[in-house]
Amino acid sequence: MAEGCMRSLRYGMVFFNLLFWLGGCGILGVGVWLSVTQGNFATLSSSLPSLSAANLLIAVGTIIMVIGCLGCVGAVKESRPLLLSFFILLLLIFFLEILSIMLFFVYQDQIDHYAQRDLKRGLQLFGTEGNVGLTNAWMIVQTDFRCCGVTNHTDWFEVYNASRVPDSCCLEYSDNCGLVNPGTWWTAPCYERVKDWIQQNLVALWIFALCTALTQILGLVFSMTMFCQAVKVETFYA
């Protein structure tokens, strides 16, 4: 009976971690693809130049692959140390995610202030040598979200020291259109536009977060149950 239960748990654990590992491979693959094909699209942050979508996906994909591999090997070999390591790592990540969400809501105003200040500082690097990624990122954001500047299109006036904006701020794009009448520019602030987009997609984001949390809880239950069964089996045959 105990062996049959252990076998079922092992198969379930292996299947779960195989899916977990394949998911990590997919995320890592997308990250590598973005890094290779969209290498010039980096980040809007001046203080965190390495914080790009590609780098984040590569890091997350690698972590998921390592944890999934650890759980899969632990289940196949019925190794208590590996199962316990998998459980501890997954539990640590789960608590860090909860802590991050709590800190975000508690310090939301401070985070908003810091983010806007950092983004405005990044505007000073727009179009400068060695900052192609940041430049392309701002051009794409302003074009896709139909906005201009961080909190106002006048943010660009400090960058150019003139009443001028990048061509990506124009209602109809054309060379040097940022030098023409302000009536031909987008005036909506990009920071608020992005926040509005997040608000509009909040349900989808919460569903994704809930699915992620349920997957992690399922992994925790599987690994701890199998660990306890392994201890019982070992004690039974001792």
Domain ranges of the chain: 1-122+190-237
Distances (CA, A) of 65 to 24, 68, 80, 107, 197: 5, 5, 20, 32, 31
Task: Round to whole Å and give the CA distance between 147 and 194.
Answer: 9
Q: What are phi and psi of 185, to 5 degrees?
A: -110, 155
Helices (H) and strands (E) in the chain, counts: 8, 0
Query: What is the average per-residue pLDDT within 81-110?
Result: 90
Give the pTM: 0.76
Identify the band that residue 150 occupies on the pLDDT scale cut at 50, 70 and 90: very high
pLDDT of amino acid 135: 85
Whole-number mean pLDDT of the chain?
A: 82
Partners of residue 59 on adjacent β-strands: none
Q: Is the pLDDT of residue 122 over 70?
A: yes
pLDDT of amino acid 49: 60
Query: What is the average per-residue pLDDT within 163-170?
Result: 91
Q: Six-digit token pair at 229?
A: 């069964």
Residues in CB range of 60: below 8 A, 6 or more apart: 24, 27, 31
Residues in CB range of 97: below 8 A, 6 or more apart: 212, 213
Task: Determine what percent of the chain is predicted with pLDDT higher than 90.
Answer: 18
The residue with tokens 């992620």 is 212
User: Among 38-47, 178-187, 218-227, whose mean pLDDT is lowest?
Assistant: 38-47
Identify the band that residue 193 occupies on the pLDDT scale cut at 50, 70 and 90: very high
pLDDT of amino acid 38: 56
